Structure 1
Amino acid sequence: MSDLRLRRSVLYMPGSNQRALDKAKTLTADSLILDLEDAVAPDAKEVAREQVCAAVKGGGYGEREIIIRVNAPQTPWGEADLKAAIQARPDAILMPKVSSPAVLESIANHLEALDAPESIAVWAMIETPAAILNIQEIAKARRDRRTRLTCFVLGTNDLAKDTWAQLVPGRVPMLPWMMFTLAAARAEGLTILDGVWNDIEDVAGCRAECQQARDLGFDGKTLIHPNQLEPANTCFAPSDEEVRRARLVIEAFDREENAKRGAIKIEGRMYERQHIGMARRAVNWREAIAAKGY
């Protein structure tokens, strides 16, 4: 059985909405981002902080991964957010506006000063032009264990705002930035999550964008409404046909007569030994989904 951490569906929940925090305990999300930043109005920041940290401490979210998105340290709420989040002990803290490695180094210093448990990881929002230009160095920050960096989250709305790029179907204006960020993440062993789909009424559009992100190589997608969970969970999963072929590849290369062969023809297609890793990933993915139950 695989111990793969699924992040197909990563749902933002506004920290100022107590009903949403409670409802999240019943939703089929792999991960939940309890938000203190963009989803919360300035006059509700302190209430949101109290509610989110109480919810995390209270538990009841099962195996769902819990992340708290704090406000940036330079904001009026940032320092208090970080301190409270550490005390709540989520699985990870999501930092907005990570535009250089220096931001992660600063956060590492804060975590050390606040004696943060080692179990708390750091996720980084990649949402500024500067972040795209510095993405390789930001990803390399993972090599310093003090940073706790494990995941990139694309902030496509903020990228569109700062670059004037249009959020059009197919996202052609953003594809170079998306793939450059993905390559940097993969080079350093980081998880990478796609940005949100804004039209909560257009489930078909969300499904298409989930499929695009999966085809591009993303691990999952950040979401803003429960009706987007099914498209994400479905698209970021291997199909029955993918799993069937993956098992054929694994079984074929495991046979004694193929022990020294570099390539094998299976059902009319050529497979090289490099395909074994891809096949095992598909099978492990399916096993992890089956264990989760949705």
Structure 2
Amino acid sequence: MTVVRPRRSVLYMPGSNARALDKARGLPADGLIFDMEDAVAPDAKEVARETIGTEMARGGYGRREIFIRINGLSTIWGSDDLAAAVAARPDAVLVPKVSSEADLVRIEEAMAGLGADPAIRVWAMIETPLAILNLKEIAASSTRAGSRLQGFVLGLNDLAKETGAQFVDDRAPMVPWISLSLAAARAYGLGILDGVFNDIYDDEGYAAECRQGREFGLDGKTLIHPRQIEVANQAFVPSVEEIEWAKTVVAVFQQPENADKSAVKIEGRMVERLHAEMAERTLALAGAIEELDRLALAG
């Protein structure tokens, strides 16, 4: 069975706020981003590094995926941030404003120089116009020997700032960026997370954007407040109907008489083997989500 890691809800947490990082241990988010960048004031960067290191050493985050977002290496904080992140041993380092393969090579070389655990992956923030123009190059970097690239996180706020695009209900100005980023990520087997929704009290608008993100095919959504977790967790999960259909498709293709068939008829529909592969992923995702939720309920 395909191995899939749920990333329905990935919550940004200010790295300088020890209370927030402690509270995160009890939140039902699939992932947490301990932030050293935008959520931390310049005079609190060192505090953020120390706080994240302390809380990571304490542990207690269970099966939540932990990302640490650093400042870019071109900033005065980047090198110290990366050293602190590597020492904390998260699941991944989240790198802002990746605009070319060269940006990833620089990060990976720096991580190698720090003796980073090979298991620590890299996720790239896609948040500059140049990144959109270089999406194929950036995604293809994952095929390079020694690459740590595992996924993209959309930074639509920064893209809007750089282009002058406006946020509207259906995100029409952002659709090309989302679609191209998704295509590049999937072409090279990478994960991809939607950008944040800025108005934490616009429940209707937020729910609609989560639905749209799932319709695009994104893995989940990055969040800025704990109250957004539940809606994302509900949006980025296969429905009961999808799960039942996936079970049917997998079962039919597993029958001996269908072992060599590229397509079969199921309940009046022609279903190809690629749909069986999609069904297997749906079941793997549903199973992984069920396990995560079970562990969350168990404490």
TM-score, length of structure 2 as denominator length: 0.94
Listed as ranges, the gaps of 5+ residues in structure 1 are none
CA RMSD, 1 decimal: 1.4
How many angstroms does 1:240 deviate by? 0.2
Match of 1:263 in 2: 263
How many angstroms does 1:252 deviate by? 1.9
Q: Does 1:130 align with 2:130?
A: yes
Find the aligned partners of 1:49 and 1:130 in 2 and give their Cα distance.
Answer: 29
Superimposed CA distance per residue, residues 2-46 of structure 1 (whole angstroms, 9 cap, x where no aligned partner): 642111111100112111111100001111000010111112111
Amino acid at match of 1:21: L
Find the aligned partners of 1:20 and 1:138 in 2 and give their Cα distance.
Answer: 33
Amino acid at match of 1:64: R
Q: Does 1:55 align with 2:55?
A: yes
Find the aligned partners of 1:81 and 1:259 in 2 and give their Cα distance.
Answer: 52
How many angstroms does 1:274 deviate by? 1.8
TM-score, length of structure 1 as denominator length: 0.96
Superimposed CA distance per residue, residues 240-291 of structure 1 (whole angstroms, 9 cap, x where no aligned partner): 0001111111122223444454433333333222210111111111111111
Find the aligned partners of 2:88 and 2:204 in 1 and give their Cα distance.
Answer: 37
Find the aligned partners of 2:70 and 2:163 in 1 and give their Cα distance.
Answer: 24
How many angstroms does 1:205 deviate by? 1.6
Match of 2:99 in 1: 99
Matches within 5 A, 1:162-173: 162-173=162-173
Amino acid at match of 2:199: D
C-alpha contact 1:2 1:287 (8 A) present in aligned 2: no
C-alpha contact 2:6 2:30 (8 A) present in aligned 1: yes
Match of 1:121 in 2: 121
C-alpha contact 1:94 1:125 (8 A) present in aligned 2: yes
Partner SS, residue 151 of structure 2: strand
Find the aligned partners of 1:171 and 1:267 in 2 and give their Cα distance.
Answer: 37
Match of 1:289 in 2: 289
Listed as ranges, the gaps of 5+ residues in structure 2 are 295-299
C-alpha contact 2:4 2:281 (8 A) present in aligned 1: no
Match of 1:7 in 2: 7
Deviates more, 1:267-276 or 1:179-188: 267-276
Match of 2:297 in 1: none
Q: Does 1:38 align with 2:35?
A: no
Find the aligned partners of 2:112 and 2:15 in 1 and give their Cα distance.
Answer: 25
How many angstroms does 1:217 deviate by? 1.0
Amino acid at match of 1:153: V
Q: 1:68 to 1:265 in 2, by over 3 A?
A: same
Partner SS, residue 123 of structure 1: strand
C-alpha contact 2:122 2:149 (8 A) present in aligned 1: yes
Q: For this pair of structures, how many residues does the alignment match?
A: 294
C-alpha contact 2:2 2:281 (8 A) present in aligned 1: no
How many angstroms does 1:231 deviate by? 1.2
Q: 1:91 to 1:205 in 2, by over 3 A?
A: same
C-alpha contact 1:57 1:89 (8 A) present in aligned 2: no
Match of 1:204 in 2: 204
Q: 1:260 to 1:93 in 2, by over 3 A?
A: closer
Matches within 5 A, 1:146-165: 146-165=146-165
C-alpha contact 2:10 2:220 (8 A) present in aligned 1: yes
Superimposed CA distance per residue, residues 23-73 of structure 1 (whole angstroms, 9 cap, x where no aligned partner): 100001111000010111112111111111111122111111111101111
Find the aligned partners of 2:135 and 2:262 in 1 and give their Cα distance.
Answer: 36
Find the aligned partners of 1:289 and 1:123 in 2 and give their Cα distance.
Answer: 21
Find the aligned partners of 1:182 and 1:3 in 2 and give their Cα distance.
Answer: 20
Match of 1:175 in 2: 175
Find the aligned partners of 2:2 and 2:147 in 1 and give their Cα distance.
Answer: 27
Find the aligned partners of 1:273 and 1:2 in 2 and give their Cα distance.
Answer: 15
Superimposed CA distance per residue, residues 176-225 of structure 1 (whole angstroms, 9 cap, x where no aligned partner): 11111111111111111110011101122222111111111111111111
Q: Which runs of 4+ in 1 moved over 4 A?
A: none
Find the aligned partners of 1:176 and 1:167 in 2 and give their Cα distance.
Answer: 14
